[in-house]
Chains A and B, each alone.
Chain A
Amino acid sequence: MVTVGRTLRMLVGAAAVACSGSTPPNETGADAANDGLEAQGTPSVAADASGGPTTNVAPVVVDNGPAGVQAVNTLYTTVTLCRPGTTICQTIDHIEVDTGSAGVRILSSLLEPALMLPRPMAADGNPLVECYRYADGYNWGPVATADVHIGGELAAAVPIQIAGGAGSTPIPSDCSSAGTEEDTVMALGGNGLIGIGFQTADCGGTCAGANPPNGAYYSCTSTACMVASLPIPQQVQNPVGLFARDNNGVAVRLPAIDPAGAATVVGSLIFGIGTAPNNGLGAAQVLTTDTTNGYFTTTFSAQSATGGPAATLVGFIDSGSLSYALPDTSIPQCSGSAALMGFFCPPMSLTLMATNTGHNQVSIVTSFSVAAADGLYGSGHAAFDDLAITDFGPGGYFDWGLPFFYGRTIFSAISGAMTPGGVGPYFAY
């Protein structure tokens, strides 16, 4: 249960208050009473003072999510937003951790009005509103500026999106035609989302040129919106790239779980690659990706359960996907439940193999498991390492979703960033 508290604690000027950014993401509803506005004695995080090795770690959790969501394989963390340069802050838990996008998005309905985050304007002086498109829908809401604290790190004065906060301005049809509006907790599956993928900004050059076709940013009056060009630094930013340190990428570390699933899984989102004792690449192998999409190549024998020709697929690793997704017509699919259509339901669990190859020609032979989705969902658990769904045919995608993260440390390097494993973007595991 998540209730972003309505208790305002405007303790501005009070003695140093430990930053609430350390609030565990798996807090109970009672604990969440702390989620109201609060003041911090210092914008930096208390843990910083210790100088310890854990100042670059945000706890993450896989659980059923905010009340009513009944999330599956959704990775959450806790973020503290502050009015820039002030100690007026709000901590919000159950923020989805997404390595497949860039930028912080918070649901407007959960923000304390008193937080009063400044809202930058479009070049023409009208309010600046964004349509951020996912494969399954979109967020629609204004851009705001906040100090983003997470896991002992700070991204100062970073543009974020306030999803659902555009008031009565009609959503442009070229935005709403992208799919489902995800500006509620139920639709989004969390209280917000933090995109920490390889991109530094959420749109980039596509939105920065003149008259960008289908751009993400709009200049809005109360009655209509027009696509607006927006320079990259003013776009919603991947906060990791703006940290003073540990800013070249992230690592997601989750423990291995039982094949039958787990009710709750607690892990770590570690900032930086090779910047601290706790984020070295170790034995992880680097798979470089293209700089536009962050894709590598996955070679997978469709019908590999029985042997068959290998297909070459577009591969990506994505904590924001709740299952593996792969084309395999030989594995029986679930029947009987509309909600499970497309998921695999093999009579016995399968262990399959695929090869991931980076643009650097490094290949990693990787095994993964597929179990019957109906049995997994029937367990009521939130975390599964063997949930898979069918997707596109030849030439399509192999999505290494959250099931792939259990029992691994997976690194994602930001585009153009220097790391001990080379220049990003890349994945490593």
Chain B
Amino acid sequence: MTSLHTGPWVFGVLAFGLASPSGALAALGGDAASIAADSATLGGKRQVTLAAGWEVHELRLPSGTLVREYLRDGTVFALAWGGPVIPDLRRLLGSYFDRYVKSPRGRPGGHHLRVVATPDWVVQSAGHQDGFIGRAWLPTHLPTGFDLDTVRAW
């Protein structure tokens, strides 16, 4: 087992900047093919970092918001965002978006923090105008030894 506490960024010795002017993003639970096929992009520059057992796709949006997606075997199992504007969660959360927006509000949260935690999917969103952060993941799809604390874009 690798020393995962060092995080994927240290491990990402194979980092290669795609610097694509129009990087695309897959949705949570989506696959890498959807990244390539997804022509409707959020704009910005994308960078891919390889880590031990997974890879990280990073996209800086025109708004300044940073999005990171974590893929294993071509599937997005986690993502995070941080910046002045909430990114397009419909795109990022994919099939989970409708469940997210319809999940009960009022208990976990208030307007500046929302936590939706189910056994199969988790979304956390916090902050306010000009300073939002959030992350989402699929607990049953995490690679062995993956440290959730590394899922961040802030």
Binding site for B on A (CB under 8 A): 69-74, 96, 98, 100-102, 132-137, 173-174, 176-182, 187, 189, 193, 197, 199, 202-204, 206, 213-214, 216, 292-293, 295, 314, 316, 318, 320-323, 325, 338-343, 377, 389-397, 399, 401-402
Contact = CB atoms under 8 A, between A and B. Distances in A.
Contacts of A73: 110
Given A293-B131, A295-B131, A341 B89 contact: no
Contacts of B124: 391-392
Given A136-B111, A396-B154, 4 more contacts: A179-B89, A318-B128, A393-B152, A402-B110
Contacts, number: 175
Closest 3 CB pairs between A and B? A136-B114, A293-B131, A393-B149
A253 to B, nearest CB: 20
Interface string B100-124: 1110111111111111011000001
B21 interface: no
6 contacts: A180-B105, A182-B111, A206-B84, A318-B110, A322-B107, A396-B152
Contact of A135 (B88, B102, B125, B135): B125
B89 A399 contact: no
Interface range on chain B (Cβ under 8 Å from partner): 35 or more
B148 interface: yes
Given A177-B91, A293-B131, A135 B86 contact: yes
A98 B63 contact: no
B74 interface: no
A73 B151 CA distance: 30
Contact of B108 (A187, A320, A342): A342
A189 B106 contact: yes
B147 to A, nearest CB: 9
A29 B88 CA distance: 40
Contact of B85 (A133, A341, A377, A391): A133
A189 B129 contact: no
Contact of A100 (B84, B85, B111): B111
Contacts of B50: none
B151 to A, nearest CB: 8
Interface of B: 61-64, 84-86, 88-91, 97, 100-102, 104-115, 117-118, 124-135, 148-149, 151-152, 154
Contact of A399 (B100, B126, B152): B126
Contact of A134 (B128, B135, B149): B128
B127 A135 contact: yes
A221 to B, nearest CB: 23
Given A180-B105, A202-B129, A214 B63 contact: yes
Contacts of A182: 105, 111
A342 B85 contact: no
Given A133-B129, A134-B128, A135-B128, A320 B85 contact: no
A293 B128 contact: yes
A293 B151 CA distance: 22
Nearest to B62: A213
B105 A189 contact: yes
A395 B85 contact: no
Contact of A204 (B114, B130, B132, B148): B130
Contacts of B114: 135-137, 179
Contacts of A178: 86, 89
Given A135-B125, A397-B126, A174 B110 contact: no
Contact of A187 (B63, B105, B152): B105
